[in-house]
């Protein structure tokens, strides 16, 4: 998401906005994280002292991300810098509630002292407002976004069903249930599937083989950006039967490419995926319902086409990275000049 945003902010209409991207975690071992955090703090303080920082945008997730961002938020307050929180985690509600009283108060204070709080959907707006009611007025919904997809062969939607899963393989994303649903479709012709991502790759491959799907279902493991793009261009169905999500990028990318989406109504997904209009909704853990939804799309190319076209329109009007960039710049400007609201 931040890589997409970095590119979008380089266009001429944002020439008066200078954005510095700083990591507090860094790549590689978690043991190196304190070094990246220290560098981020030093850079923030220096930019402030040089008069080159007006607002801090803090991307916030659960666990280690929160511990680092609590420090960054406090440094921002000490430095007199307004900050905006941007909540990304699909587990932040449970994480927040599980904290002891001292840490929970620190998290509450981080939200209370922010100038704006960006969430990805209505569910996450309720998560924050229910726990810190005084923050309700400054919560803004800005969904994740991607650039528009390039050329895609329009005949793909009429071809045999090419089902794609993109994400971390494992229990949380509903992958075991997906394999069982695909197994129940084994006798149906005209489909193939790719389950791509890191995580429980070996377990997923073994489950596919046990289900007798080795000739129909590919499990390539982690794939890079170029491979992801190729898979999205070839797919006409994107499936994500997760038990928890915030707002997954794979669904937004699939909408951009015009693939028909099958997903669960978790996190912010119900804000975007309307059953029978921009996708098909199944309940988490419902193997029979998942198999039925996939079976409908396998058998009905016209349904795939209609859902894909509606999804692409949705992306163009609400989920394009240019729209997101415009909204974030407006939020940053308001955070610096709250009197102009």
- The answer to whether 166 and 173 have CB atoms below 8 angstroms apart is no
Q: What is the per-residue pLDDT for 339?
A: 62
Contacts of 32 (CB under 8 A, 6+ apart): 26
DSSP-assigned letters across all residues of 22-77? --SS-SS-GGGHHHHHHHHHHHHHHHHHTT--S-EEEEE-STHHHHHHHHHHHHHH
Residue 149 has pLDDT above 70, yes or no: yes
The tokens for 138 are: 């400054």
Q: What is the per-residue pLDDT for 340?
A: 57
Handedness of CA 114, 116, 120, 122 (dihedral sign): positive
End-to-end CA distance of the chain: 27
Q: Is 312 exposed, middle or buried (0-12, 13-18, 19+ CB in 10 A)?
A: buried
What is the share, in percent, of the chain residues with pLDDT greater than 90? 91
Alpha-helix residue ranges (DSSP H) falling in 211-320: 225-234, 249-257, 287-299, 301-314
Pairing of strands 139-141, 161-166: unpaired
pTM tops 0.75, yes or no: yes
Give bridge partners of residue 118 from the DSSP assignment: 86, 140
- The answer to whether 149 and 256 have CB atoms below 8 angstroms apart is yes
Q: Give tens-digit pLDDT for 96-105.
A: 999 999 999 9
Give the Cα separation of 294 and 210 in Å (integer).
20
- The answer to whether 206 and 143 have CB atoms below 8 angstroms apart is no
Mean pLDDT (the chain, rounded): 95
Give the Cα separation of 279 and 220 in Å (integer).
26
Closest CA to 93 of 62, 119, 51, 121: 62
Q: Give tens-digit pLDDT for 36-72.
A: 999 999 999 999 999 999 999 999 999 999 999 999 9
State mean pLDDT over 271-300. 98
The tokens for 152 are: 């895609």
């Amino acid at each position: 998401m931040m890589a997409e945003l970095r590119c979008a902010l380089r266009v001429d209409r944002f020439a008066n906005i200078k954005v510095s991207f700083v990591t507090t975690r860094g790549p590689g071992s978690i043991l190196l994280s304190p070094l990246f955090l220290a560098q981020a703090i030093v850079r923030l303080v220096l930019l402030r002292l040089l008069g080159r920082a007006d607002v801090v945008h803090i991307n916030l997730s659960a666990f280690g991300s929160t511990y680092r961002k609590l420090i960054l938020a406090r440094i921002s307050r000490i430095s007199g810098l307004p900050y905006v929180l941007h909540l990304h985690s699909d587990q932040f509600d449970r994480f927040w509630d599980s904290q002891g009283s001292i840490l929970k108060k620190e998290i509450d204070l981080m939200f209370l002292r922010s100038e704006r709080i960006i969430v990805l959907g209505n569910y996450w707006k309720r998560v924050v407002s229910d726990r810190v009611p005084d923050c309700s007025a400054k919560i803004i919904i800005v969904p994740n976004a991607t650039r528009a997809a390039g050329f895609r062969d329009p005949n793909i939607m009429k071809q045999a069903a090419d089902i794609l899963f993109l994400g971390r393989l494992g229990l949380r994303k509903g992958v075991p249930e997906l394999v069982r649903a695909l197994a129940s479709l084994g006798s149906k012709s005209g489909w193939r599937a790719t389950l791509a991502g890191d995580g429980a790759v070996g377990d997923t491959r073994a489950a596919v083989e046990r289900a007798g799907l080795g000739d129909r279902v590919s499990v390539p493991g982690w794939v890079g950006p170029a491979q992801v793009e190729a898979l999205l261009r070839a797919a006409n169905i994107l499936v994500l039967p997760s038990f928890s999500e915030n707002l997954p990028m794979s669904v937004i990318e699939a909408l951009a490419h015009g693939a028909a989406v099958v997903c669960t109504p978790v996190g912010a997904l119900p804000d975007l995926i309307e059953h029978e209009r921009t996708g098909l909704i199944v309940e988490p853990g419902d193997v029979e319902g998942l198999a039925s939804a996939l079976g409908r799309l396998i058998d009905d190319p016209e349904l795939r086409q209609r859902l894909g076209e509606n999804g692409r329109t949705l992306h163009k009007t609400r989920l394009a990275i240019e729209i997101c960039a415009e909204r974030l710049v407006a939020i940053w400007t308001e955070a610096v000049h709250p009197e102009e609201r």
